[in-house]
């Protein structure tokens, strides 16, 4: 719940009705708050990968909504400027 990728995946799993989870590892060498979109990249990559592991049950529009949950954690508001 304290990482944009984890938060976005949590939204995806909740919508899928899945009780399990994913183990994720993220290595970035970008300073937080640098404005280069690393949080959006993490949230987007997480939901795309999670969707594939669940058999591709969600559309791109639905994945966008899940990624925006991650962006809300990073910036305080749901927006799609970088995740879209």
Q: How far apart are CA 6 and CA 60, in angstroms?
A: 18
Q: Is the pLDDT of residue 77 over 70?
A: yes
Q: How far apart are CA 65 and CA 41, in angstroms?
A: 14
| pLDDT tens readout for residues 10-58 | 999 999 998 888 888 887 777 766 666 788 888 999 999 999 999 999 9
Contacts of 26 (CB under 8 A, 6+ apart): 3, 5, 42
pTM of the complete model: 0.86
* CB neighbour class for 29 (10 Å; exposed up to 12, middle 13-18, buried from 19): exposed
| pLDDT tens readout for residues 51-67 | 999 999 999 999 999 99
How far lies 24's CA from each of 32, 46, 51, 58, 69, in Å? 19, 8, 14, 20, 17
Beta-strand ranges (E) seen in the chain are: none
Q: Indicate the average pLDDT of the chain.
A: 87
């Amino acid at each position: 719940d304290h990482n944009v990728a984890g938060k976005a995946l949590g939204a995806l799993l909740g919508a899928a009705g899945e009780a399990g989870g994913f183990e994720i590892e993220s290595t970035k060498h970008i300073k937080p708050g640098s404005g280069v979109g690393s949080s959006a990249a993490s949230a987007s990559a997480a939901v795309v990968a999670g969707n594939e592991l669940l058999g591709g049950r969600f559309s791109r529009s639905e994945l966008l909504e899940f990624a925006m949950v991650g962006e809300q954690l990073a910036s305080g508001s749901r927006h799609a400027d970088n995740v879209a």
